[in-house]
Structure 1
Amino acid sequence: MAVELPTESRLTDRKRAAIVAAAVKEFEACGFDNTSMNRIAETAEVSKRTVYNHFESKDALFLAIIEELLETTESLPDFPHEPDRNLADQLAENARHVVELFTSSSFQGLVRVTLSRFLMSPHLAQQTIGDQKRFRVRLVRWLEQASAAGRLQMEDTEFAAAQFCGLLQAFTFWPQVFGIEPMPAAAEKERIIQSAVEMFLKQYAV
């Protein structure tokens, strides 16, 4: 049975979420350095004191945005290898989850905010994000299982996972993050996914 949080706790959580959302909006529009805590409070429709009750500084607020980005990325569903199911169908199903995340406006907003700061402070990216392998752990696990079952053949599952994600990112992530291309329509997303799956399995399927 779920435990219902007290009304005050739910209100506090909503205010915190509103502050983070306001920070993302303002950082994306004006940049980290040009955004004040006053402006964030106004956008979140809370007092400046409330902002500081949740976050002692703008840097602390930025770290909260990074945490939200990581949590969003790591919320993708797990997908264990199914020995009796077509490999292409399994890989395409996973790719659809990944592409939906990549093309989410909220996720792209988080990425733009963090990327702009990381470009100015590369050491901050290493300290907070660290190794990108954590984002591909589910795919790597699936590749290892499929390889152990004799259905795929590859020397380096980490490398192969990065390749597959790169095929998707090239069309559904980076061009949109930088505003070069619009978000692909549903039919185009599926075409990108099917093409990536076909290319990948042509290289690694036994």
Structure 2
Amino acid sequence: MGRSERKHRAILAAAQEMFLAGGYLGTNMDELAARSSVSKQTVYKHFGSKEALFVELVTSMTDAAGDRVHNEVADPADGDDLVGFLESYADRQLDIVMTPKLLQLRRLVIGEVGRFPDLAEALYEHGPKRAIGMLAAMFARLTERGMLHADDATAAATAFNWLVMGESLNRAMLLGDAAIPSTAERRAQVRAAVRVFLAAYGAR
């Protein structure tokens, strides 16, 4: 890793800590530069503006979470336990997305939508939209192989995503981190979500 890349990562790390703790308005760029061990000029050289830095932080955090959910999972092979695969996938998704930092980022972005719509767009494009796109591609492949029956793979992916995420995400967003489900609660929700999903999209 080169010196410039190390500085870029140090700035993003400090930005994550400060934006999540103090919000957009509460984050001071002079302090952020000091915490990053770079000059304020270097911060602006890398990111251009405070808003651009915030957008990149949103993008990098949501991309990293999405990669952990999707990129390390191979499609199930013919004859594999589809129920077990979907439950494992959903449990991984719910466990990764329902972390305090990502929930705080989501709350922070929603609070800034009126002033900075680009933030919400970045969160949506790199979060739910990207996740549903990856799921849709996988569900289309499974439908071609006869393991699912999803004429509209995007609709199936959207249904799966929100069956898994909806209740837990709503509770945690509104009630705080104390409402993040326990492992047992998460797995029970996952089993129920997969059962309902397969009732609609299971192979005929």
In structure 2, give the amino acid aligned to 1:204.
Y
Q: Verify the 8 A CA contact 2:58 2:122 in the aligned structure 1.
A: no
**Alpha-carbon distance in 2 for matches of 1:117, 1:125:** 8
Does 2:17 match 1:25? yes
Partner in structure 2 of residue 195 of structure 1: 192
Q: Which deviates more from structure 2 when the two are superposed, residues 35-44 or residues 91-100?
A: 35-44
Partner in structure 2 of residue 118 of structure 1: 113
- 1:178 positional shift: 3.6
* Per-residue deviation, residues 111-131 of structure 1 (Å, max 9, x unmatched): 333333235443653477548
In structure 1, give the amino acid aligned to 2:46.
H
Structure 1's 32 and 170: CA in aligned 2 closer, same or farther, altered over 3 A?
Answer: same
- 1:165 positional shift: 0.9
- The count of residues paired between Structure 1 and Structure 2 equals 198
Q: Verify the 8 A CA contact 1:112 1:177 in the aligned structure 2.
A: yes
Partner in structure 2 of residue 90 of structure 1: 85
Given the alignment, which residue of 149, 155, 172 partners 1:159?
155
Aligned alpha-carbon RMSD (Å): 2.8
- 1:14 positional shift: 4.2
Q: Verify the 8 A CA contact 2:65 2:97 in the aligned structure 1.
A: no
Tell me the SS of whatever aligns to 2:113: helix
Q: Verify the 8 A CA contact 1:102 1:172 in the aligned structure 2.
A: no
- 1:91 positional shift: 0.7
**Alpha-carbon distance in 2 for matches of 1:46, 1:110:** 24
- 1:44 positional shift: 4.2
- Show the 5 A alignment for 1:33-112: 33-44=25-36, 46-75=38-67, 76-77=70-71, 78-112=73-107
- 1:43 positional shift: 4.5
Name the TM-score, length of structure 2 as normaliser. 0.79
* Per-residue deviation, residues 121-146 of structure 1 (Å, max 9, x unmatched): 43653477548532223321221122
In structure 2, give the amino acid aligned to 1:67.
T
- 1:155 positional shift: 3.0
**Alpha-carbon distance in 2 for matches of 1:28, 1:45:** 19
Q: Give the fraction of aligned pairs with identical amino acids, expressed as a percent.
A: 26
* Per-residue deviation, residues 126-181 of structure 1 (Å, max 9, x unmatched): 47754853222332122112222223223321111111111222233332234445
* Per-residue deviation, residues 57-81 of structure 1 (Å, max 9, x unmatched): 2022112112203421431224324
**Alpha-carbon distance in 2 for matches of 1:133, 1:105:** 21
Query: Which has a greater percent of helix?
Result: 2
Given the alignment, which residue of 119, 138, 143 partners 1:147?
143
**Alpha-carbon distance in 1 for matches of 2:78, 2:102:** 33
